[in-house]
Amino acid sequence: INISVFPPSNACIGRYILNMQITSCGHTYQRCLGDFYVLFNPWCADDPVYMDNQAHREEYILNEHGILYEGVHKHITSRPWHFGQFEDGILDICLKILDMGASYHHGSDRDHCWRNDPVHVSMVVNHMISSHTTNSIMKIPENNDYLKGTKPFSWNGSVPILQQWYNGRCRPVRYGYCGSLASVMCTVMRCLGIPSRVVTNFCFPCSIENPLGINEIFDCTGKNLCGKDKLWRYHCWNESWMARRDLNQCCGDWQCLDPTPLETGRGLACSGPTWVRSIREGELDLDYDGHHMFSRVNSNYVGWLSQNNAKKTKFFCDTWPCGQHLITKSVGSEQFEDITGAYKYELGSVKNKEAYYRAYRRIHPGYCNASNCHIERELSSLKNPFLSDSGINMRLKMANCPMYGEDVQLHWVLENLRSENKNLKFNLCAQIITYSGCPMDQFWKDSVNVTLGPREVKKIPLCISYSQYGPYLCDHNIMKVVAVSDPECGEVLMVSRDIVINRPPVIVKLLSQPRLKVPCTAEISFCNPLQEDMKNCVMTLEGCGLFKEPMTIDLGTLASNQQARTIVEFTPYRLGSHRLLANFGCHKF
């Protein structure tokens, strides 16, 4: 007997058991024929996650290889990530996540009725990634302290994280960061049949008091002081494709889901799902957490100089608006796609202003009847004056693309826009900044007197040596260089630049052609570029379809300019496009 099962498009996803009942001669017998899984189906036109583009289905459902974008908006870095949604056991782990999070919205999971709705499924998964009280999949380290767990940036893929959570009795894995949280969520959603992708937003504001304003405070040396607000250099979240029946959508569209717990005014919480188009239109009443997601791509930056008497002064500066660069991996390509236009209209356009005014009235109830002009005047009073208003233009330009161990070379360009001389004194400094905007050690300071003739342009070279920044960089490969004028000289001018220090590359070379179930070898090499020893060196190898679990190689200590070469053997155990990832770690990073 051949049995075909045709689940309706509104069937609840999960694992089903198929039983057969036989009645013969007055006796009834039960026999279990096996089990099967029902998932969301983006190939089915009646399914709420239907996606009509085959290339998009291949990228957002079938592709196990992804790319995470990090760095700063002027220097975007990337690193590969293994989603591994088709690895053995991952589907059962994903269903376990739904079981553990079932009570989040519904109190009881006896009828499983919510499991046919991708909106509720996505909310449960979003909550379980890092917001569940006891059984969340991953934790973020408090105060950047991760000595009792794995370094957040050392993960290469989702599979080891999910396996460690499942095998550890569903206790949180220590530790992750926004990129790993969003990537693990992407794995779970793709595994359940919901098209998903990871998005990176550069210049991401995290403000507690003012949803549409972010404040950064500096002292007279240019040091960034630790305040309540944080300007994240980048932040990753997840987008999933579905038709929102609760919003009367008849066709699928991208929904924003942020699994990273952030301060929302009601405590730490994840956000979403939020219809991306409602963020662009400023229609914040339509959706879950719409005002939080809108503020994360539309906040205004305000910079302050704090003087000894606790007086704060706005300085002249040219700021990069928050949320002006959102990217994701392109379909069928290793390049990134700029999707900023999906979240907001072009800056300064009529539609952009209309959406902002609409959102402003919903976020600030006191302005619900205010005119556009009234709101615009309020916004203008909060902004920093432009550098050009002071008669001076400044910028910090990179003269090199520094790698770990190399000196940082910059050109400080100053232009006098007026027809009279300018005599100014500047304080300069460099400081380590975490990706989440936490200021760390200030390791370099200097002061310079600058004289500019009428309409003169001057270029001043700056050099920060590795011996100055190396002892402080650690895992945080971002530094901030600031030049701020002395307040005693009159108007306070400031220019700054975030700089990414690139890590040395790990070279992977295949020595034989990979074939299914046939041993294959590869050479992994790494060279210590520093003028000092690297201690506690470890190489971690991972690859979906290549390694059942990550392989760790202890390299010990590498002397200056020493090259480590390792030959590894592996046996591909399933067909498909595979990628071998190698991650290097030591006492420095």
CA distance 465 to 503: 16
CATH class of the structural domain 54-381: alpha beta
Report which DSSP code applies to 344: S
**111 by DSSP, 3-state: which?**
coil
Instruction: Choose, from 235, 291, 325, 476, the residue flagged as catalytic.
Output: 235
CA distance 104 to 455: 64
Here the tokens at position 295 are 């503020």
Please state, as a whole number, how many other Cβ atoms lie within 10 Å of the Cβ of residue 419.
9
Please state, as a whole number, how many other Cβ atoms lie within 10 Å of the Cβ of residue 294.
31
Share of the chain above pLDDT 90, in %: 72
Phi, psi of 122, rounded to the nearest 5 degrees: -65, -35
> Between 3.40.50.2000, 2.60.40.10, 3.40.960.10, 2.120.10.30, what CATH number should domain 506-585 receive?
2.60.40.10
Mean pLDDT of 282-290: 82
46 pLDDT band, cuts 50/70/90, is very high
Instruction: Choose, from 65, 94, 120, 178, the residue flagged as catalytic.
Output: 178
3 pLDDT band, cuts 50/70/90, is confident
Q: What pLDDT score does 148 carry?
A: 85
Residues of the chain with CATH 2.60.40.10: 392-500, 506-585
Beta bridge partners of 485: 426
What is the Cα 153 distance to its own chain's centre? 12
Mean pLDDT of 300-306: 91
Mean pLDDT of 215-227: 91
Judging by DSSP bridges, how do beta strands 534-542 and 520-527 pair with one another? unpaired
Instruction: Choose, from 258, 287, 289, 498, the residue flagged as catalytic.
Output: 258
CA distance 234 to 236: 7
Here the tokens at position 31 are 């026999």
Q: Give the lowest-confidence range in 261-275, 352-366, 398-412.
A: 261-275
Q: Determine the topology of domain 392-500 in CATH.
A: Immunoglobulin-like (2.60.40)
Judging by DSSP bridges, how do beta strands 230-242 and 457-464 pair with one another? unpaired
Q: What pLDDT score does 433 carry?
A: 95
Mean pLDDT of 92-107: 84
Q: What pLDDT score does 237 carry?
A: 97
Q: What pLDDT score does 463 carry?
A: 97
Q: What pLDDT score does 40 carry?
A: 98
Please state, as a whole number, how many other Cβ atoms lie within 10 Å of the Cβ of residue 463.
11
| Sign of the dihedral defined by the CA atoms of residues 278, 280, 285, 287, in that order | positive
265 pLDDT band, cuts 50/70/90, is low
The string of pLDDT tens digits covering residues 537-559 is: 999 999 888 888 889 999 999 99
Higher pLDDT, 430 or 512: 430
* Residue 258 annotated in active site: yes
* Residue 578 annotated in active site: no
578 pLDDT band, cuts 50/70/90, is confident
Q: What pLDDT score does 294 carry?
A: 93
Q: Cis link prior to 175 (omega < 30° from 0)?
A: yes
**CA dist list (Å): 85 to 62, 327, 419, 420, 542:** 8, 22, 64, 65, 15
CB 565 within 8 A of CB 537: no
* Residue 132 annotated in active site: no
**162 by DSSP, 3-state: which?**
helix
List % helix, strand, coil for the chain (3-state, nearest 5): 25, 40, 40
Mean pLDDT of 427-449: 94
CA distance 430 to 222: 8
Q: What is the pTM of this model?
A: 0.94
Report which DSSP code applies to 52: -
**571 by DSSP, 3-state: which?**
coil
CA distance 355 to 278: 10
Question: For residue 264, is pLDDT > 70?
Answer: no
Average pLDDT over the chain, rounded to whole? 91
Residues of the chain with CATH 3.90.260.10: 54-381
Question: For residue 109, is pLDDT > 60?
Answer: no
197 pLDDT band, cuts 50/70/90, is very high
Q: What pLDDT score does 406 carry?
A: 95
Higher pLDDT, 49 or 106: 49
Alpha-carbon torsion angle 279, 285, 290, 294, nearest 10? 50
What is the Cα 513 distance to its own chain's centre? 35
